[in-house]
Amino acid sequence: MSRRRIGLALAAASFAWGFASSVAHATDISFWTWRQEDKAAYNELFGDFTKANPDIHVKFESFPDENYPTIVSTALAGSKGGDVIHTHAYGWLEQFVKAGYFEPLDMATVPSLANQPADALVSGTYRADKKVYSLPFASQTLGLFINKDVFAKAGLTPPTTWDEFITVSKALKEKGIYPLANGMGTSWFNEMFVAIFTNPFLGQDFVGDLTSGKTTFKDPRYVAALGKLLELRPYMPDGFEGIDYETAGQLFLSGKAAMLAGGSFDIATYRSQNPAINMDFVAPPMAKAGDTPQATKFFDGGYAVNSKSANKEAALKLVNWMGTKEFGDKFSALLGNISPIKGVVIKDELLSHVAKLNETAMPHINVVYFRFEKPTGSELLQGDITKMMSGSITPDQLAADLTDGLAKWYKPFQGK
């Protein structure tokens, strides 16, 4: 009796479900991303898209950062996955392109490619066939967050040079404030931490020498810059080895710490966590007064179309729209990320600061140049940097490990 009733209910439910789906939208496509915290913003953007294209609805699906590559690669290997996929740039993208999982984008299908500057397009281009596979979405800037209220209360001015940084830090520490919020507990951020503080000592020339094969990471300039990082240790929180990037953010937002090496991608998050925060985003300390301020920049990733998508046309339409100024303006306003799209207007004062820093910024060397093959510069550096900061290896050893590891596949380093 009761079993029969359940059966009837199931039949009714499946009928209702079938009915409901038959009146659903003409095309439903999905967007996959690791940016869980951006859900509201993307849903608003996709709402705009659907207004212009009423027959296409976009579903936002996000995954934990750390599992994202696993999930994407397993799904794509099985000819599944979102129709539009948020990708990281450079080497990360390349392995997927190599396997044929993404659709090449060209001016015919995605005319908005024309709105992208050349260096941005490089981040989404496969080196072997020179085709673009991922439409760049943001230019990220790494630098130093300043809690202006903390500085004002302490009667200090934010530092611009390394020497000022040390002096100011000593004064802050005496007042019981952590000068620098960062710790070494989050390996992906450690790599950014290194880039932020070493780049002003390395300069554009070093990047040129490195990429042209004139020098390696064993270069005395690189070793000396790494040595500078060791001087930061007294000004980081107690037990800094175990402080992760989230905790560092909390120390900064709560005013327990005055400065935080961080990324412009977190501006929106910090503002939502503490709307009262009075902060600035500046270039990291320069080697000496009069240098050009040197923040670090890289293109984070882009939007790619799954080559196995059943709705390729709709997916391409969406990606094309994500390359328009209309999208870029709202994207920058909602997420506090700087869109690479030409002509995007940035109204926010802090963000326009960041955009200015971006103009003179140095590339994030490892991300841009050394993630194409195994072992990547990132995994080598991330493995060694905590050891260096805890004193169990020297900057020389780190530089040697990095160079020798990369020499496996990076020809200019071989035999050096």
Partner 1 sequence: MTAGWRHTERPFPWRRSLWIAALLTPALVVMVLFVLWPLLSAFRLAFYEFSGLRPSGFIGLENFRQVLFEKPYSDWTYNAFKHNVIAFLALMVFENGTAFLIAFALLKALPGHRVHQVIVFMPVVLSAVIVGFLWKLFLHPLFGLVNQLLGLVGIAAIPWLGSENTALGSILFANIWHWLGFPTLVLLAGMQRISKDVLEAARLDGAGDYALMTKIVWPLIAPSVTIVTILTFIGSFNWFEIPYVMAGLTGSPGGSTDVLGLYFYRTAFGSTTTGIQDFGQGSALAVLMFIFVAGVTAIALRYLRRREIEQ
Partner 2 sequence: MRDRGETIRNGAIQLVLAVNAVIMIYPLFVMVTSSFKTNAEIFSSPLSLPTHFSTANLEKVWTETNFVRYLANSVGITAASVALILLFSTLAGYAIARYRFRLSSLVLMFFLSGMTVPLKLAIIPLFIQLDTLGLVDSYLGLVLVYVAMGIPSAVFIMTGFLRTLPRELEESARMDGASEARIMWSIMLPLARPALVIVAIQNAVPIWNDFFFPLVLITSDNLKTLPQGLTVFVGELTTDWGVLFTGLTLAALPITLLYIVLSKQFISGITQGAVK
From partner 2, partner 1, none, interface partner of 174 (C-beta below 5 to 8 A by class): none
Build a one-symbol-per-residue string for 24-53: x at contacts with partner 1 by CB under 8 A, - elsewhere. ----------x-------------------
Stretch of 62-70, 147-155, 341-349, 351-359 lying at the interface with partner 1 (CB under 8 A): 62-70
Q: Which of 301, 362, 390, 353 is nearest to 122 (CA)?
A: 301
Query: Does residue 99 touch partner 1 according to CB under 8 A?
Result: yes
Query: Does residue 300 touch partner 1 according to CB under 8 A?
Result: no
Stretch of 94-102, 199-207, 289-297, 353-361 lying at the interface with partner 1 (CB under 8 A): 94-102
Pick from 53, 211, 247, 269 the residue near partner 1 by CB under 8 A: 247
* Rounded Cα–Cα distance for residues 378 and 198 (Å): 15
Q: Which of 33, 42, 30 is nearest to 268 (CA)?
A: 42
Stretch of 13-21, 208-216, 239-247, 289-297 lying at the interface with partner 1 (CB under 8 A): 239-247
Query: Does residue 234 touch partner 1 according to CB under 8 A?
Result: no
Stretch of 59-67, 104-112, 287-295, 388-396 lying at the interface with partner 2 (CB under 8 A): 59-67
- Give CA torsion, residues 211, 213, 217, 220, to 10 deg: -110
Query: Does residue 14 touch partner 2 according to CB under 8 A?
Result: no
Cβ–Cβ under 8 Å, residues 387 and 393: yes
Query: Does residue 273 touch partner 2 according to CB under 8 A?
Result: yes
Pick from 44, 48, 55, 61 the residue near partner 2 by CB under 8 A: 61
Q: Which is nearer to partner 1, 35 or 353 (CB)?
A: 35
| Amino acid letter, 366 | N
Build a one-symbol-per-residue string for 64-83: x at contacts with partner 1 by CB under 8 A, - elsewhere. -xx-xxx--xx-xx------
CB of 90 to partner 2, least distance (A): 24
From partner 1, partner 2, none, interface partner of 404 (C-beta below 5 to 8 A by class): partner 1
Q: φ, ψ for residue 215 (rounded to 5)?
A: -140, 175
From partner 2, partner 1, none, interface partner of 273 (C-beta below 5 to 8 A by class): partner 2
Build a one-symbol-per-residue string for 228-267: x at contacts with partner 2 by CB under 8 A, - elsewhere. ------------------xx-xx-----------------
Q: How many CB atoms lie within 10 A of CB 373?
A: 14
Stretch of 41-49, 57-65, 218-226, 288-296 lying at the interface with partner 2 (CB under 8 A): 57-65
Q: How many CB atoms lie within 10 A of CB 296?
A: 28
Which residues sit opposite 59 in a β-bridge? 30
DSSP state of 235: G
Distance of CA 218 to CAs 224, 371, 378, 404, Å?
A: 10, 18, 16, 9
Q: Which of 353, 305, 366 is nearest to 105 (CA)?
A: 305
Judged by CB under 8 A, the chain residues 313 through 342 that form the site for partner 1 are none
Q: Give the chain's end-to-end CA distance (angstroms, integer).
A: 81
Kindly report the three-state secondary structure assignment for every residue of 74-117: HHHHCCCCCCEEEEECHHHHHHHHHCCCECCECCCCCHHHHHCC
Pick from 56, 75, 110, 304 the residue near partner 2 by CB under 8 A: 75
Q: Which is nearer to partner 2, 61 or 241 (CB)?
A: 61
Pick from 138, 191, 201, 252 the residue near partner 1 by CB under 8 A: 191
| Amino acid letter, 337 | N
* Rounded Cα–Cα distance for residues 142 and 71 (Å): 28
Distance of CA 385 to CAs 61, 228, 393, Å?
A: 34, 13, 9
Q: Which is nearer to partner 1, 115 or 401 (CB)?
A: 401
| Amino acid letter, 385 | I
* Rounded Cα–Cα distance for residues 221 and 354 (Å): 27
Judged by the rule CB under 8 A, the positions of this chain that interact with partner 2 are 36-37, 61-67, 70-71, 74-75, 77-80, 246-247, 249-250, 273
Judged by the rule CB under 8 A, the positions of this chain that interact with partner 1 are 34, 65-66, 68-70, 73-74, 76-77, 88, 91-92, 95-101, 183-188, 191, 237-243, 247, 251, 367, 371-376, 378-380, 382-387, 390, 392, 401, 404-405, 408
